[in-house]
Chain A
Amino acid sequence: MNVMMSSPKTLVDDVAASEPILDIRDVTLQYTAGHLSILATYKVSAQVFEADRFVLLGPSGCGKSSLLKSIGGFHKPSEGEIRLRGRKVTEPGPDRMMVFQEFDQLLPWKTVVQNVTFPLMESGKVRTRKEAEERARHYLEKVNLTKFADNYPHMLSGGMKQRVAIARGMAMEPDILLMDEPFAALDALTRVKMQDELLELWDDTHFTVLFVTHSIAEAIKIGNRILLLSPHPGQVKAELNGLCRADAAGPKGKALERDIHDMLFADKASEEIRHHG
């Protein structure tokens, strides 16, 4: 079993036959704002398999972040259920490490390496401080931050902070890494670089990741499977296969981008026509 897990999946049948790591079944999410109860998602279903780069894509207001937070265990579905490796998700836990959009997700009172070792020690994932330190430095090296390991977060740039958060998540070797628009607050040049680095990391270890974004281009670049959500409330519009990397950068990628764009904004366009016509 261990050998299976560490080797990359090559056969499609193999993936289809295996159990999903994450099973989202008919999840309806509601939240209250003031005196209103707002429906964030309505009966969303999806399955994430081992080594998937699964992207949740949709415009703002489609409940993709709410869905991710409920997978993280922060938000109970009012209907449906979420299962991680067959166990029902009821509360937050380190088997689903999260990477947030905000730069303040690092603990400012801990150095970079301490930020990575802290969850390892606290969750009991690693027994000794030495082992935690070794593992932290190993993953910091993967994100090219060895030089900054003993700095405090306030000395790092936004992109570096996000890399620490990714290293922290990966060092825990969770069942699934949950990323909530991790590159959205970065400048365009850094964002492209970070996307490339994330893909390199994936090539290296084939971790399972659920990635939320509102950028169609980012979804096509990152994802091997893309779940399209329509807004108000979020409902599954489509679940598409991603492209291989060479195709994603070429004309096929552009075609898929147009395709997705049309799907997401079809309703809006027809609505506008109705209004103006």
Chain B
Amino acid sequence: MADATATHLHNFRPEIRREPASAEAFGIVERRLTVWEQLYGSGPVRKAFILLVLAAIWEVYGRSVGNPLLFPTFGETASALVSGLASGDLLMRVWASLQVLLIGYAIGIAAAAALTVVAISTRLGEDVMVTLTAMFSPLPAIALLPLALIWFGLGASSLVFVLVHSVLWAVALNTFSGFQSTSRTLRMVGRNYGLKGWRFVSRILIPAALPSIVTGLKIGWAFAWRTLIAAEMVFGVSSGQGGLGWFIFQSKNMLDIPAVFAGLLSVILIGLFVEGVLFKLLEDRTVRRWAMQS
């Protein structure tokens, strides 16, 4: 009885049917963003602004110290950088470092690829990779330098050896975890197409794991830079006039502190370029375009 009353009462509510409001009622539906909003929305502009602020803080602090032997200003460092580049000396050092770096990086990536393929093809291979990574990943590359000197002598090959060590584990670990997190459905789709072995890996697993692979490549690149600069400082001249690390070390010995800062600044600038331009291009064309990474 109570139910019936309730239903009865409910039905007293009037029905509502409406026409949508006409377009004029809203005012502006679409408008262009103001210049400021656009500038703030752009990542490169925001980052450039941060760099400017940092440079300004550096300049102010350097002037307050007032001693170029302790802490040169941004201006002094910049002029040391420009004169180093102009004389060609710094450019040669950068080139020498980059050559070794690229060789080590490439070999490291190739070794990581081989190791990961072994790891995904058999269960034993997976154990081999996991164990090796757990053993060697925490080992600082510099700690291997004395051994490298004995095995490979005082040349570029020793540097390449420690570089490979610093790149290999980071890239292998990330690539492997990317393969493992590939969705079951995508794997089944690939096998449904009849893909097997290397074709399955290259057509399905590698693209599917690309976000992790790119992360691994970035980490590997940063590790390689650190290792190389440190190794060059310990190592001295490896080939020709030596690389950027040796340039920094030499400048310190000659108490040319602005040049030391200029060397450090060029490491930073190259790092910013690789991260902000090369890797960003790669990501924009791949993972971000496919919305596999935001």
In the complex, whether A204 has a CB less than 8 A from a CB of chain B is: no
Given contacts A74-B188, A105-B189, A154-B291, contact A122 B195 (CB under 8 A): yes
Given contacts A98-B189, A100-B185, A104-B186, contact A152 B194 (CB under 8 A): no
Q: Does B207 lie within 8 Å of A109, measured CB to CB?
A: yes
Q: Does A122 lie within 8 Å of B194, measured CB to CB?
A: yes
In the complex, whether A119 has a CB less than 8 A from a CB of chain B is: yes
Binds B, one of A89-97, A243-251, A253-261: A89-97
In the complex, whether B286 has a CB less than 8 A from a CB of chain A is: yes
Chain B interface size range: 20 to 34
The CA-CA distance from A102 to B184 in the complex, in Å, is: 10
The CA-CA distance from A108 to B185 in the complex, in Å, is: 12
Chain B residue contacts of A108, Cβ below 8 A: 208, 290-292
In the complex, whether B46 has a CB less than 8 A from a CB of chain A is: no
The CA-CA distance from A107 to B291 in the complex, in Å, is: 11
* Residue of chain B at shortest CB distance from A178: B192
In the complex, whether B289 has a CB less than 8 A from a CB of chain A is: yes
In the complex, whether A123 has a CB less than 8 A from a CB of chain B is: yes
Q: Does A119 lie within 8 Å of B193, measured CB to CB?
A: yes
Chain A proximity mask over B259-294: 1 for CB below 8 Å, otherwise 0: 000000000000000000000000000100111100
Chain A proximity mask over B170-212: 1 for CB below 8 Å, otherwise 0: 0000000000000101101101111100010001100110100
The CA-CA distance from A107 to B200 in the complex, in Å, is: 13
The CA-CA distance from A91 to B188 in the complex, in Å, is: 11
Q: Does A109 lie within 8 Å of B292, measured CB to CB?
A: yes
* Residue of chain A at shortest CB distance from B195: A122
A-B CB pair tally, cutoff 8 Å:
62
The CA-CA distance from A93 to B190 in the complex, in Å, is: 10
Chain B residue contacts of A109, Cβ below 8 A: 207-208, 210, 286, 290, 292
Chain B proximity mask over A127-139: 1 for CB below 8 Å, otherwise 0: 0000000000000
Q: Does A152 lie within 8 Å of B191, measured CB to CB?
A: no
Chain B proximity mask over A155-172: 1 for CB below 8 Å, otherwise 0: 000000000000000000
Q: Does B290 lie within 8 Å of A152, measured CB to CB?
A: yes
In the complex, whether A72 has a CB less than 8 A from a CB of chain B is: yes
In the complex, whether A118 has a CB less than 8 A from a CB of chain B is: yes
Chain B residue contacts of A119, Cβ below 8 A: 192-193
Q: Does A92 lie within 8 Å of B183, measured CB to CB?
A: no
Chain A proximity mask over B45-60: 1 for CB below 8 Å, otherwise 0: 0000000000000000
Q: Of the candidates A72, A102, A104, which one forms a contact with B192 in the assembled complex, judged by CB atoms under 8 Å apart?
A: A72
The CA-CA distance from A96 to B192 in the complex, in Å, is: 8
Q: How far is the CB of A122 from chain B (nearest CB, A)?
A: 5
* Residue of chain A at shortest CB distance from B287: A109
The CA-CA distance from A253 to B185 in the complex, in Å, is: 34
Q: How far is the CB of B221 from chain A (nearest CB, A)?
A: 23
Q: How far is the CB of A220 from chain B (nearest CB, A)?
A: 28
Q: Does B193 lie within 8 Å of A74, measured CB to CB?
A: no
Chain A residue contacts of B191, Cβ below 8 A: 73-74, 92
Given contacts A107-B207, A108-B292, A152-B291, contact A98 B188 (CB under 8 A): yes
Q: Does A94 lie within 8 Å of B193, measured CB to CB?
A: yes
The CA-CA distance from A105 to B191 in the complex, in Å, is: 12
Chain A residue contacts of B194, Cβ below 8 A: 92-94, 122-123
Known A-B contacts: A92-B194, A104-B186, A118-B203. Give 15 more (CB < 8 A). A72-B192, A93-B192, A94-B192, A96-B192, A100-B188, A102-B185, A107-B186, A107-B207, A107-B208, A108-B292, A109-B208, A109-B290, A119-B193, A152-B291, A154-B291
